[in-house]
Amino acid sequence: MRTPIPFPISFEFFPPKTPAGAEKLVQVRHALYAVQPAFFSVTYGAGGSTQEGTLQQVQAILAEGHDAAPHFSCIGATRDSVRVQLAQFQASGIGRMVALRGDLPSGHGTFGEFRYASELVAFIRAETGDHFHIEVGCYPEVHPQAKSPQADLQAFVTKVRAGASSAITQYFFNSDAYFRFLEDVQHHGVDIPVVPGIMPIISSTQLMRFSDACGAEIPRWIRLRLQSFGDDTESIKAFGLDVVADLCEQLRQGGAPGLHIYTMNQSAPALALLERLA
Ligand code: FAD
């Protein structure tokens, strides 16, 4: 049995796409229960996942005695469809969610009745009061579609004022971006916890692909070092662990209220990281 980590940790999964993936995720979450995380979250929509897949995973985690939050995006949704979903969450004993706008698949399609996540948050509060602890996303390195850093910051402040309880950041490798973002939001009177999202480095091609898609910057020195390892996955993982553990240490020392780990449905990288930080 591992010792619990002395600061709040949460873990993110995506709904498995195959029976083998589902089987593996059972082992993964059991391994992660040992560090007594504050909660797990399960993504929705990315890679074509359905809300049923998300809900199934959340229900399984809740049934095993741990807190879990579905991600819920409003892209293409109507007020009625959101109402139905909220009722289903409440009936399933869910008390926490990650409320997002989401993205149009390949940039096509229609937004539906909600234009921004702030409108979804306001709607959830209007419909369900204080029932849900609402997490929202934020972007210390600026959301890729934002008109400007100032507009993105203002959009985040609006989302918080609409009723967000806490926030999780997009991942980043430069702690200055996070600390500057915190200063800026505090300057606007925002005092909810803003928890850094942490991406363990497991594979360089996967990391480059994700980062290009979500606008997270990989500093040049990290990119070049990763490229220099070629297919040597052990060296990539060892270097990645050093880089991400140093980042987490800086974040903790600087007062980050916890860490949210994007597990990529694997337990070993997250546990190796937490062992370094224990
Ligand atoms: P919003 O807060 O609505 O912001 C979207 C854009 O609109 C930003 O550029 C913002 O600056 C701008 N904006 C917001 N309000 C206004 C306004 N009033 N006027 C003008 N501009 C405005 N995606 C998934 O598909 N599934 C997931 O499970 C998922 N999980 C995520 C978890 C986390 C922690 C994070 C950080 C992101 C996640 N995403 C997920 C990605 C997210 O859906 C995308 O980044 C999406 O493009 C933005 O979602 P949002 O909720 O941050 O949107």
Residue whose CA lies nearest to ligand 1 atom number 11:
152
The percent of residues in the chain predicted with pLDDT above 70, rounded, is: 97
Whether the predicted pLDDT of 79 surpasses 80: yes
pLDDT band at 246 (very low <50, low <70, confident <90, very high): very high
Whether the predicted pLDDT of 67 surpasses 50: yes
Residue whose CA lies nearest to ligand 1 atom number 51:
100
Summary mean pLDDT of the chain: 95
Q: Structure tokens of 178?
A: 């996070």
Whether the predicted pLDDT of 156 surpasses 50: yes
Can you give the three-state secondary structure of 145-213, one letter per residue?
CCCCHHHHHHHHHHHHHCCCCEEEECCCCCHHHHHHHHHHHHHCCCCCCEECEECCCCCHHHHHHHHHH
| CA neighbor of 262 nearest in space, from 190, 214, 193 | 214
Q: Quote the ligand 1 centre to 160 CA distance (angstroms).
A: 13
All structural domains of the chain with their residue ranges: 9-277
Tell me what pLDDT residue 49 has: 75
Q: Quote the ligand 1 centre to 27 CA distance (angstroms).
A: 31
Q: Which residues are catalytic?
A: 12
| Residue 213: Cβ within 10 Å count | 11
Whether the predicted pLDDT of 140 surpasses 50: yes
Rg for the chain (alpha carbons), in Å? 18
Q: What is the DSSP letter of 232?
A: -
Tell me what pLDDT residue 1 has: 45
CA distance 135 to 61: 18
Tell me what pLDDT residue 46 has: 74
3-state secondary structure of 11: strand
Whether the CB of 118 sits within 6 Å of ligand 1: yes
CA distance 67 to 59: 10
Kindly report, residue by residue over 89-107, the tens digit of the pLDDT. Answer: 999 999 999 999 998 877 6
Rounded average pLDDT over 126-145 = 97
pTM: 0.97
Whether the CB of 154 sits within 6 Å of ligand 1: no
Whether the predicted pLDDT of 5 surpasses 80: no
Tell me what pLDDT residue 115 has: 95
Whether the CB of 196 sits within 6 Å of ligand 1: no
Q: Among the atoms of ligand 1, which is closest to the Cα of residue 14?
A: 28
Tell me what pLDDT residue 47 has: 67
Residue 165, Cβ density class (10 Å: 0-12 exposed, 13-18 middle, ≥19 buried): middle
Whether the CB of 111 sits within 6 Å of ligand 1: no
Kindly report, residue by residue over 22-53, the tens digit of the pLDDT. Answer: 999 999 999 999 999 999 999 998 767 788 99
CA distance 232 to 219: 20
Residues counted in the chain: 278
CA distance 157 to 94: 26
The bridge status of strand 259-262 relative to strand 166-169 is: unpaired
Whether the CB of 197 sits within 6 Å of ligand 1: yes
Identify the CATH number of the domain defined by range 9-277. Answer: 3.20.20.220
Whether the CB of 46 sits within 6 Å of ligand 1: yes
Rounded average pLDDT over 251-270 = 97
Q: Among the atoms of ligand 1, which is closest to the Cα of residue 146?
A: 9
